[in-house]
């Protein structure tokens, strides 16, 4: 296990933080830590990287008790809030962090390290800004540099606290590709994020924290109750229709040779002819085909679109169940 914690607790004078966290993160996976603001995610991460000392409980990271230099050397960390010296360039920042990571001045001047710096900056898309002052960087560029620092010393395990929060859609796409590439090389990635699309696309496993407590953890598809719903590459689509009659379902089925009920569910219909249907479609084109079918059958199409992601629905359900709300 990359992370193995048992009853790990850290509070701030008895308040906030996180309590009794027992969690395992297997090697080679991308693991997502989820939870609303203030759930205790950063507190948990800070204990793992040795920035906070736990009040109680046990934990190992890379098989070593917390804070061991041997484990830290194999660990890359991108903190949630960081700021690099404005007057340095990315090359200088990375050289400085090479020194902080235990390399000698001679080693950081070696051609091998220079190549490593060049390759790391290329990996995060900062090659062209390699010799510009960090003070003039956008938030997204600073975040890329933070990622470069985390990856500089070829870590076996990286802990990233909100790695994509300041990035534009292209930047997020690039970082997602980079994280997949790292996983394929055997690097384990622990991701603390609010970006559920990233979690859905990237993570093999996840955990949900709420008000300092761990409410659930495990493989993502099991957590969100996917059983065949996730992983098949399809999309859940919803349609709101008017002009629905009791015989409409059968007529539609006749039109597509009984295939409809295999992919579609009539969620509700009322006496005024309103109906709500959901379908598992392979892509937008298939959803478009169904929409055309409805219109040709004389129905009015009021709304058609992908359902909110399973993960989002699961996230809201988990939080509502603790707030005493009614899970949808």
Binding site for ligand ATP (CB under 6 A): 12, 16-17, 35, 37-43
Cβ 270 to ligand ATP, closest distance in Å?
41
Contacts of residue 183, Cβ cutoff 8 Å, sequence gap at least 6: 28, 29, 30, 189
Q: H or E stretch including 145? A: helix 139-151
- Tell me the C-alpha distance between 158 and 71, whole Å: 11
Instruction: For residue 120, give the nearest of 139, 98, 138 by alpha carbon.
Output: 98
Q: In the complex with ligand ATP, which residue's Cβ is closer, 16 or 28? A: 16
Minimal CB distance residue for ligand ATP = 16
Q: List the beta strands (DSSP E) in 41-156.
A: 56-61, 64-65, 75-78
Residue pair 31/45 in contact (Cβ under 8 Å)? The answer is: no
Cβ 149 to ligand ATP, closest distance in Å?
20
Q: In the complex with ligand ATP, which residue's Cβ is closer, 44 or 113? A: 44
User: 3-state DSSP call for residue 191?
Assistant: strand
Cβ 261 to ligand ATP, closest distance in Å?
43
Phi, psi of 40 (to 5 degrees): 110, 10
Q: In the complex with ligand ATP, which residue's Cβ is closer, 153 or 195? A: 195
Cβ 35 to ligand ATP, closest distance in Å?
5
Cβ 86 to ligand ATP, closest distance in Å?
24
Cβ 168 to ligand ATP, closest distance in Å?
21
Contacts of residue 148, Cβ cutoff 8 Å, sequence gap at least 6: 90, 94, 120, 121, 123, 124, 126
Q: In the complex with ligand ATP, which residue's Cβ is closer, 129 or 207? A: 207
Q: What is the DSSP secondary-structure string of 206-256? A: EEEEETTEEEEEEEHHHHTT-TTSSSSS-EEEEEEEES--TTHHHHHHHHT
Q: In the complex with ligand ATP, which residue's Cβ is closer, 37 or 328? A: 37
Phi, psi of 67 (to 5 degrees): 85, 0
Q: In the complex with ligand ATP, which residue's Cβ is closer, 47 or 126? A: 47
Cβ 192 to ligand ATP, closest distance in Å?
7
Q: In the complex with ligand ATP, which residue's Cβ is closer, 14 or 246? A: 14
């Amino acid at each position: 296990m990359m992370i193995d914690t048992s009853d790990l607790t850290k509070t701030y004078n008895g308040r906030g933080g996180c309590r009794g966290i027992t969690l395992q993160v297997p090697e080679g996976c991308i693991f997502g830590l989820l939870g609303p603001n203030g759930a205790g995610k950063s507190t948990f991460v800070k204990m793992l990287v040795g920035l906070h000392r736990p009040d109680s409980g046990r934990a190992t990271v890379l098989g070593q008790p917390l804070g061991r230099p041997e484990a830290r050397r194999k660990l890359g960390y991108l903190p949630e809030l960081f700021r690099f010296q404005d007057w340095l360039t990315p090359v200088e920042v990375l050289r400085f962090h090479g020194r902080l990571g235990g390399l000698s001045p001679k080693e950081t001047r070696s051609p091998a390290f220079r190549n490593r710096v060049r390759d790391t900056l290329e990996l995060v898309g900062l090659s062209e800004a390699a010799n510009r002052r960090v003070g003039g960087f956008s938030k997204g560029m600073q975040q890329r540099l933070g990622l470069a620092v985390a990856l500089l010393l070829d870590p076996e395990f990286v802990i990233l606290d909100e790695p994509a929060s300041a990035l534009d859609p292209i930047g997020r796409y690039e970082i997602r590709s980079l994280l997949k590439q790292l996983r394929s090389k055997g690097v384990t990635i622990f991701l603390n994020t609010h970006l559920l699309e990233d979690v859905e696309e990237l993570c093999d496993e996840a955990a949900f924290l709420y008000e300092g407590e761990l409410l659930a953890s495990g493989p993502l598809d099991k957590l969100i109750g996917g059983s065949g719903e996730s992983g098949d590459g399809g999309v859940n689509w919803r349609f709101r229709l008017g002009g629905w009659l009791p015989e409409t379902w059968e007529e539609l089925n006749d039109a597509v040779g009984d295939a409809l009920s295999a992919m579609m569910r009539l969620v509700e219909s009322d006496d005024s002819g309103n109906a709500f249907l959901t379908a598992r479609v392979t892509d937008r084109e298939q959803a478009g085909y169904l929409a055309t079918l409805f219109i040709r059958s004389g129905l009015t199409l009021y709304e058609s679109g992908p359902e909110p992601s399973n993960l989002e629905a699961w996230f809201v359900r988990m939080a509502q169940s603790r707030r005493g709300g009614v899970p949808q």
